[in-house]
């Protein structure tokens, strides 16, 4: 109760967030931790993935929960080996797929849960290139990035699981899924035109 | 007391100062302009509330099907607007959506769920097209689209919350009256009076 009150008071006085590749004054780990929050498409993908996994329930996502951070690590490592590429299109496509799955809420086989989670994780990792960092700084930032991404997924998983308790809440999650799909689809259309 | 503090928390987060995030893309301004786009159009507001009202009026599963179908089809209309496909009489369609959907609620029309979804989907194309034509001008396309999708969804939610009153006899009258007012507003938009 006190924490909620404090949070509400603190949120009345937020400082401007001047987000870019690295925020001055923050260490590498914290920069990495916040990195997923600076990229709207990452928030969308991770939110959608978390909601999808939360809807499926613990029995179907056991392997996916291991595959996701593994894939993120693989993607982050991949940024060292390949030059930074624009994979927004693929991120948007997977977001659309996950959003639709949230809306329809099918009983998804364990394999497909794992594949989708791994794919999303890999793409997020690949899109998290930090070219200005090398060596230990890169490693620390990447660890923060991994943790930040996993936390976002876990929070939205928790939300989806919590919302399984009533029709209203289940409807709310499906509605969020439709919003995610709609937004991603629109941006994909725009990106196709721009290219 | 706990509820009051929780509401305060939600309100303060919603009204927190703008986060001027990201050096190159105006994330906050894109989100805000997208969020405000439906709200600044009374015809949008009226129709969106009517979708929520009608969904609540029809009950489950329309309660979640209509607010889900609408943004999905709206995205399709938006994509058509983005690519420059002209849809005739978009503003007429938007005004007409308020009239038709309001009338559906006012006269307590209860069609099969697929019919309701088709009607809502049809009008969603017009609304989406109107938003989509603005998308290329947005500071940040993704946050703009997130903004107007969220805004639309919240308007639906308002309609659903109001529509929940149909549980009570007086509430049913209030909801149908609300639908009637929306239909009248739609007629006003169509005729140019409003």
pLDDT digits over B72-129, tens only? 999 888 888 888 888 888 888 988 999 999 999 999 999 999 999 999 999 999 998 8
A50 has a pLDDT exceeding 90: yes
Predicted pLDDT at A22: 59
The reported pLDDT for the residue numbered A11 is 42
ipTM for the complex shown: 0.71
Confidence of residue A66 (pLDDT cuts 50, 70, 90): very high
**What pLDDT shows up at residue A16?**
36
Confidence band, pLDDT 50/70/90 cuts, at residue B138: low
Mean pLDDT lowest for which of A14-18, A76-80, A113-117, B122-126? A14-18
> What's the CA gap between A79 and A134, in Å, rounded?
12
Taking 70 as the threshold, does the pLDDT of residue B11 lie above it? no
Is the pLDDT at A85 greater than 60, yes or no? Answer: yes
Tell me which of B17 and A113 has the higher pLDDT: A113
Tokens at B136, concatenated: 């290329």
Nearest to A182 among B22, B74, B143 (CB): B74
Q: Which residue has the tokens 């009533």?
A: A166
Closest in A8, A44, A178 to B8, CB measured = A8
The C-alpha atoms of residue A36 and residue A32 are separated, in whole angstroms, by: 8
- Residue-wise DSSP of B74-129: HHHHHHHHHHT---TTHHHHHHHHHHHHHHHHHTT----HHHHHHHHHHHHHHHHH
The residues, any chain, with a CB within 8 Å of residue A138's CB and separated by 6 or more, are: A28, A80, A130
pTM: 0.77
- Grouping H, G, I as helix, E, B as strand and the rest as coil, residue A73 is helix
Residues of A in contact with B23 (CB under 8 A): 18-20
Residue of B nearest to A189 (CA): B79
| Statement: residue B55 has pLDDT above 60 | yes
Q: Do A182 and B83 touch (CB under 8 A)?
A: no
Mean pLDDT, to the nearest integer, of A18-22?
44
User: pLDDT > 90: what percent of chain A?
Assistant: 45
Higher pLDDT, B14 or A54: A54
């Amino acid at each position: 109760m006190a924490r909620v009150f404090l949070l509400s008071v603190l949120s009345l006085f937020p400082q401007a967030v001047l987000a870019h590749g690295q925020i001055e004054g923050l260490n590498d780990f914290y920069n990495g931790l916040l990195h997923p929050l600076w990229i709207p498409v990452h928030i969308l993908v991770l939110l959608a993935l978390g909601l999808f996994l939360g809807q499926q329930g613990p029995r179907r996502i056991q392997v996916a929960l291991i595959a996701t951070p593994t894939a993120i690590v693989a993607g982050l490592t991949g940024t060292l080996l390949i030059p930074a590429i624009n994979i927004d299109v693929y991120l948007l496509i997977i977001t659309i797929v996950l959003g639709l799955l949230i809306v329809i809420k099918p009983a998804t086989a364990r394999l497909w849960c794992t594949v989708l989670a791994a794919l999303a994780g890999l793409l997020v990792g690949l899109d998290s290139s930090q070219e200005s960092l090398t060596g230990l700084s890169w490693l620390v930032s990447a660890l923060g990035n991994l943790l930040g991404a996993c936390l976002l997924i876990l929070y939205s998983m928790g939300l989806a699981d919590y919302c399984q308790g009533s029709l209203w809440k289940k409807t709310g999650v499906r509605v969020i899924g439709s919003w995610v799909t709609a937004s991603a689809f629109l941006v994909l259309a725009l990106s196709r035109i721009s290219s | 007391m706990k509820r009051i503090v929780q509401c305060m928390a939600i309100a303060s987060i919603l009204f927190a100062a703008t986060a001027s995030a990201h050096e190159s893309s105006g994330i906050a301004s894109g989100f805000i302009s997208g969020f405000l786009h439906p709200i600044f159009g009374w015809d949008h507001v009226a129709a969106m509330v009517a979708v929520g009202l009608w969904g609540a009026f029809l009950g489950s599963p329309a309660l979640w099907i209509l607010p889900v179908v609408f943004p999905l089809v709206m995205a399709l209309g938006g994509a058509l607007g983005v690519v420059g496909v002209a849809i005739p009489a978009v503003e007429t369609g938007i005004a007409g959506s308020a009239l038709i959907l309001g009338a559906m609620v006012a006269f307590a029309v209860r069609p099969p769920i697929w019919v309701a979804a088709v009607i809502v989907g049809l009008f969603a194309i017009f609304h989406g097209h109107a938003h989509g034509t603005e998308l290329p001008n947005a500071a940040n396309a993704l946050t703009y689209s997130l903004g107007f999708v969220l805004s639309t969804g919240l308007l639906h939610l308002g309609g659903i919350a109001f529509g929940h009153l149909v549980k009570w006899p007086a509430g049913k009258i209030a909801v149908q009256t609300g639908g009637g007012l929306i239909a009248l507003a739609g007629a006003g938009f169509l005729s140019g009076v409003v």
